Amino acid sequence: MTNLFVVETSYYDVLLAREQVKVQQKAVEPGEQLLREVRRQVQVGTLAQLEVTSAESVLESSKSALAGAEGVYAVAKNTLKNLITDKLVQSADVNLRYLYNQLFPGLNLTGTYGWYTFNQSFGGHLDEVKHGPTRITQRR
């Protein structure tokens, strides 16, 4: 049961990391738009060149956060894949051992242990079983 819990938790970690990547991608778009507007205003002459550097810094911070989120997403996916693969390998290992054992021939031995008597009556047989073959019985 704990294995199922670990795999399920890892799955939700993947979903969370994927959503974080989407959020960071959306955070990069306003940074790019800001940089375009600042460059346009610098060309017109309404802003100083220093504002371009500031806008580039904001954009690079957003891109850095996006790269970090993508890294977390990749790690979460690999963790989930490893958990699932380990469980499949363990199951496949049992199946492979079974199939390997099927290559060998089977040998079934059946044996019996018994006591044969030569009496014509059922009671005589019981006496021999009870007391042993000490009496010699004759066949008629």
pLDDT of 135 > 70? The answer is no
Nearest to 55 by CA among 39, 36, 41, 35: 35
Question: Bigger pLDDT: 6 or 71?
Answer: 71
The whole-number average pLDDT for the span 87-108 is 67
pLDDT of 134 > 60? The answer is no
Tokens of 103: 């290559």
Note the pLDDT of residue 95: 66
According to the CATH classification, is domain 2-101 in 1.10.287?
yes
DSSP letter at 137 equals: P
Note the pLDDT of residue 49: 87
pLDDT of 114 > 60? The answer is yes
Note the pLDDT of residue 91: 64
Note the pLDDT of residue 69: 94
Tokens 């030569």, residue located: 118
Residues of the chain with CATH 1.10.287: 2-101
Confidence category of residue 57, pLDDT binned at 50, 70, 90: very high
Please give, one letter per residue, the 3-state secondary structure of 43-81.
HHCCCCHHHHHHHHHHHHHHHHHHHHHHHHHHHHHHHHH
Note the pLDDT of residue 83: 83
CA pair distance 77, 74, nearest whole angstrom = 5
pLDDT in tens, 115-133: 565 656 656 666 666 666 5
The one-letter code for the residue type at 128 is: E
17 near 67, Cβ under 8 Å? no
Note the pLDDT of residue 117: 56
